[in-house]
Amino acid sequence: METAELVIVGCGPAGATAAREAARAGIHSVVLEKDAIVGAKRVCAAGLRPGFCSEFDLPREIVHFDTPRLALFDANGGEHVLRFGPGHTSTREELDGTIARLAREEGAEIRTQALFRDLVREDGDLVVEYADLTEGVRKRIKARTVFLAQGATAVLDRPPLHYAQWRDGLMTTLQYRVYLDRPAIPVTYETLEMHYYLGRQGRQIVGWMFPKKDHLAIGLGVIGKMEGTALRAELDALTERIASRLYPQCGVIRRKVEGHLLYMGAPRPVLNADGVMLGGTAAGLVDATNGEGIYEAAMSGRLAVEALLAHRDAPRRAALRYAAGVKRRFVGRLRRRLKLMHFLERQPQRFGILFAQLATTPGLPQILHGETRRRTLRDRAVLYVQMLKFLYKAA
Ligand SMILES: Cc1cc2nc3c(=O)[nH]c(=O)nc-3n(C[C@H](O)[C@H](O)[C@H](O)COP(=O)(O)OP(=O)(O)OC[C@H]3O[C@@H](n4cnc5c(N)ncnc54)[C@H](O)[C@@H]3O)c2cc1C
């Protein structure tokens, strides 16, 4: 049977980053990706946090716009502008495609049209089974370590990785790529917009507008399922509101519609098992307040390789070290984000209170958006005081 030191399932930001960093460190990895072209089918708004490209050594060509403005729209449609960043916008065909290309150039083996099927233990070894969709045959690889990063649709139904609450965190999303006959008003291209409001059925909607070179990505998501026509009507209503502010004079040449699942629940409680590591959105590493998961995914790929390098001859210890690293870095913060989102949703006017506070308190958005481990004592004190202020007003 074919053997590999590391098998990676999924070539999104988590899998592709792991493959690239493994190749750089001299670890032989095989990546299994079900799609024919990496990134081409990913539905995403592809907003990247400030510094993403330099953090992951990616070329600036993938950046469409640097966006110093974040406009948060509250439940009444009130706009609150925060300045930080600049963040970037890109597309997933460029982002995932570029990381995968660089990984290949540095020695990773990426197999497309390779559909992961199962992971079993045989005589103490991990064996990954996949369907080779070009040849129509099932193949097997013996692996020392496996990094599972197949995104929100990951099926992990065996213990210990199985998580009964996973389905409760799945969000249905729908997005238009709106192609205009001329540019929208200039502020559009400096801004990431996020909208938080109750939809026509009284359900919490999170919407967005992210500018790209040749189109605007306008989309929304709702936790759980929503019937297709109702979801489309919600998106049409949001698009109309955005159109009247940002491109009232423009004609729409084309509107491409795309949808996918996004996970917005709590991170999975178990992130490793017996030489297997779970990364990116498959591990539930998504910020429930804004849907950001690309940074967390890429970082989980990096942490997986760092753990493997620290315990190259002991895959189980590497997986343990990985899980501890991800928990320290992300899990506490992401759980707090989910709690905050639930708190805001219980009384939607709280969104406006929070956004007004963020917009008028210098430095607060940066502290909140930064990683917990990088916070200074002063940052923590500021956060504490601001939290008390917010709770007082929200109450
Ligand atoms: C509509 C929408 C908008 C979003 N906007 C943003 C945003 O603006 N900013 C942000 O940071 N995050 C955003 N996200 C979240 C972001 O897309 C994810 O957090 C991120 O893609 C996670 O990366 P990943 O590598 O873990 O998984 P994915 O990017 O989902 O990649 C998983 C890969 O695994 C492959 N795969 C799946 N199953 C199999 C299988 N059985 N066999 C082989 N391969 C398989 C898939 O084809 C895919 O290539 C958005 C998500 C959605 C749905």
Say yes or no: 126 and 274 in one domain. yes
Strands 2-9 and 29-32: parallel
Nearest CA to ligand 1 atom 10: 292
Say yes or no: 42 and 99 in one domain. yes
Pocket probe for ligand 1: among 31, 34, 58, 256, the residue whose CB has the most ligand atoms within 8 Å is 34
Say yes or no: 152 and 275 in one domain. yes
pTM: 0.97
Average pLDDT over residues 259-288: 96
CA angle 216/219/225 to nearest 5° reads: 160
Q: Does the Cβ of 211 fall within 6 Å of ligand 1?
A: no
Say yes or no: 251 and 203 in one domain. yes
Q: Does the Cβ of 92 fall within 6 Å of ligand 1?
A: no
Domain hosting 229: range is 63-91+168-263
Atom of ligand 1 at shortest range from CA of 261? 53
The answer as to whether 57 is a domain residue is no
- Which pair of tokens denotes residue 64? 């469409």
Would you place residue 395 in the very low, low, confident or very high pLDDT band (cuts 50, 70, 90)?
confident
Among the three residues 238, 263, 288, which one is the final residue of a domain in this structure? Answer: 263
SS3 127: strand
154 near 138, Cβ under 8 Å?
no
Pocket probe for ligand 1: among 35, 95, 170, 294, the residue whose CB has the most ligand atoms within 8 Å is 294
Atom of ligand 1 at shortest range from CA of 286? 19
Say yes or no: 13 and 111 in one domain. yes
The candidate with the shortest Cα–Cα distance to 114, out of 139, 95, 97, 145, is: 139
What pLDDT does 264 receive?
95
pLDDT in tens, 155-179: 898 889 999 999 999 999 999 999 9
Give the E-state strand segments of the chain in sequence order. 2-9, 29-32, 47-48, 65-73, 79-89, 109-111, 114-122, 125-132, 137-148, 170-180, 191-198, 204-211, 216-223, 252-263, 272-273, 276-278
What pLDDT does 281 receive?
98
Q: Does the Cβ of 293 fall within 6 Å of ligand 1?
A: yes
Nearest CA to ligand 1 atom 29: 12
218 near 235, Cβ under 8 Å?
yes
Residue 258 belongs to domain with CATH number: 3.30.9
Q: Distance, CA 385 to ligand 1 centroid (Å)? A: 36
Say yes or no: 77 and 149 in one domain. no
Say yes or no: 161 and 109 in one domain. yes
Say yes or no: 226 and 313 in one domain. no
Would you place residue 85 in the very low, low, confident or very high pLDDT band (cuts 50, 70, 90)?
confident
Query: Alpha-carbon distance 86 to 71, whole Å?
Result: 13
Average pLDDT over residues 319-329: 97
Taking CA atoms, 274 is separated from 126, 224, 302, 318, in Å, by: 9, 32, 19, 10
What pLDDT does 366 receive?
87
